[in-house]
Amino acid sequence: MASERMADGQDGDQPEPRVPETRASEARAPEPRPHEPPVADPRPLDAIDRDILQILYTDGRASIRAVAERVHVSRANAYARINRLIDDGVIRGFGARINHERAGQGASAYITLKIVQNTWRTVREHLRALPGASHIALVSGDFDVLLLVHTPDNRALRELVLTRLQAIPEVLSTRTLLVFEEDDMEPES
């Protein structure tokens, strides 16, 4: 028994933690894995929360005062709701919609990748470090990962695919789909 505790990393002098008994009818949430933060169930959003999200999606620079006026709540209430949406991970951040061509990123492509099974987290870290990567998704189907990149030109795109992507050991194959024209879906005002 002591050797089993030692193998589990417990000191032999400390008592084993007591696990409370539960009835079969009591549902218990699974314990979070040590390397992953616990994920709480999302709180339900009411109509005001959804209205706030739509306003901020349309205009991420809207002031608290303007948001409060549009959803008919006090500024303190709007401020508290926005902070709760941020704390709950509903709002992940605020940013600008960019015209990549005008910003010097004239070549865009979706790149599909087939990867070694169970290497998604490792591959994702490599892809996050790529210059011009703007969207990464683990998907189902004929390939495993969908990557959107923006580069200055086709030469830089070729370099990214042939030198950087194909050098990742877990990447088995890639397919590049050039984007001839793109249009972001503008939110409804």
**What is the DSSP secondary structure assignment for residue 62, as one 8-state letter?**
-
pLDDT for 3 equals 38
Is the model's pLDDT at 11 over the cut of 60?
A: no
Average pLDDT, the chain: 82
Q: What percent of the chain has pLDDT over 90?
A: 63
- Cα separation, 89 vs 83, whole angstroms: 10
β-pairing, 171-179 vs 107-115, is antiparallel
Q: What percent of the chain has pLDDT over 70?
A: 77
Where b means 16+ CB within 10 Å and e means fewer, 111-149 reads bbbebeeebeeebbebbeebebbeebeeeeeebbbbbbb
Confidence of residue 58 (pLDDT cuts 50, 70, 90): confident
> What are the tens digits of pLDDT across the range 88-118?
999 998 888 888 888 888 999 999 999 999 9
- Give the lowest-confidence range in 25-29, 135-139, 156-160: 25-29
Could you tell me if 148 and 177 are in contact, meaning their C-beta atoms sit under 8 angstroms apart? no
> What are the tens digits of pLDDT across the range 111-141?
999 999 999 999 999 999 999 999 999 999 9
- pTM check: above 0.75: no
Q: CA angle, 60 as apex, 188 and 131 as ends, to 5°?
A: 105
- Cα separation, 175 vs 113, whole angstroms: 7
Is the model's pLDDT at 85 over the cut of 70?
A: yes
Q: CA angle, 75 as apex, 71 and 80 as ends, to 5°?
A: 90
